[in-house]
Structures are given as C-alpha cells and as structure tokens.
Amino acid sequence: MIELHRNGQRLAIAGELTIYHAAEVHAALVPLYAETELDIDLSGVSEFDTSGVQVLLLAKREMAQAGHALRLSGHSQAVLDVFALLELGGLFGDPQLLPAGGAPA
C-alpha cells in the first residue's frame, strides 16, 4: 500500500516506499520537479528500500540542478534507519528529527 497526498508544495508519502511502488511514486514526483520548492513528508513511510532511496535521490538531483529546493521532513523510523545505514543524511542535508519519545527500534 502507498498513499500520496499533495497539498500545494507539499507531498505526503505514506505506506511502503519500496520496489512495489517506486515507479508509481516516481511518476507522481516528476511533475512536481517544476515547483520552486517542494516539501516531502515522510512521516507515514512504513517500509523503505533502495528503490525508495533512488527515487528521492533523483528528485533531489533534478530539482537541485534546476535551482529548486527539495526538503524532506518528518522522516519515519523506517526512513531514519536507512538514512543512518547508508549515511544519506548529509547528502540530502535535511534535519532529521527523531520521533518524539519514541526510541528507534
């Protein structure tokens, strides 16, 4: 399951950001590259794999090349785990807030 909610310059991704849905998410993101600023809310991401990482990396690169800003926010635990493993925090440059009260599993 994956759900995408767009609200202006904000896109919330919820569910499994994995190979099963990577193509769908990518297709939804491409038109948004034109926005000068985009905020992707990852708080609802329950599963996250390499294909998910790639879709976000590509968005970051494409928007950066056009001089647009992509911000990731609300990193869910699944996202934080992968970012920590692959040391992606610096690459994306967004502050990752640990979920309040919840210690990472």
Partner 1 sequence: MPKTIMIVDDSASLRQVVNIALTQAGYEVIEACDGQDALNRLDGRKVHLVISDVNMPVMDGITFVTELKKRAEYRFVPVIMLTTEAGEQKKLAGQAAGAKAWVVKPFQPATMLAAVAKLILP
Partner 2 sequence: MSGMNLEAARQTFIEEARERLQELEAGLLALEHDPQDGEWLNAVFRAAHTIKGSAGLFELDVIVGFTHRVETALDRLRSGEQAFTPALGALLLRAGDHIGLLLDAAVAAQEPDAALLQAGQALLDELARALGEAPPPVPAAAGTLPERVERSGGAALGPEFWHISVRFGREVLRNGMDPLSFIRYLGTLGRLLRVATVTDGLPALADFDAEACYLGFEIDLDSPVDRDTIAGAFEFVADDCTLHILPPRSLAAQYLELLRALPEDDLRIGELLVNSGCLSRVELEQGLRRQAEVQPSPPLGHILVDQHGVEPAVVDEALRRQGQVRERKAASARFLRVQAEHLDALIDQVGELVIAGAAVALLAQKHADTALEEAASTLSRLVAGIRDSALQLRMVPIGETFVRFQRIVRDVAHELGKEITLQISGEETELDKSVVEKIGDPLMHLVRNAIDHGIEPVETRLARGKPASGHLRLDAFHDSGSLVIEVGDDGGGLDRERIRAKAIANGLITADHELDARGLAELIFAPGLSTSDSVTQLSGRGVGMDVVRRNVESLRGSVEVHSTPGAGTVFRIRLPLTLAIIDGFLLGCSGSRFVVPLDSVVECVELDTAGAGVCPPYLNLRQHALPLVCLRELFGLPAGGGARRASVVVVQCGGRRAGIVVDELFGEFQTVIKPLGPLFAPLRAISGSTILGSGEVALIIDIAALVQLAAQRRPVLPSRSPA
Question: Which residues are at the interface with partner 2 (CB under 8 A)?
Answer: 19, 22-23, 25-27, 30, 49-51, 53-55, 57-58, 60-62, 64-65, 69, 80-98, 103-105
Region 9-48 residues binding partner 1, contact defined as CB under 8 A: 18-20
Least distance CB 61 / partner 2 (angstroms): 6
- Rounded Cα distance between 65 and 69, Å, is 10
- Residue 101 tokens read as 């009260």
Least distance CB 29 / partner 2 (angstroms): 10
The site for partner 1, by CB under 8 A, has a size of: 3
Per 3-state DSSP, what percentage of the chain is helix, strand, and coil (rounded to 5)? 40, 30, 30
Please report whether residue 91 would count as binding partner 1 according to CB under 8 A: no
- Residue 41 tokens read as 């809310």
* Alpha helices (runs of H) in the chain, residue ranges in sequence order: 22-29, 50-65, 77-86, 89-92
Least distance CB 6 / partner 2 (angstroms): 18
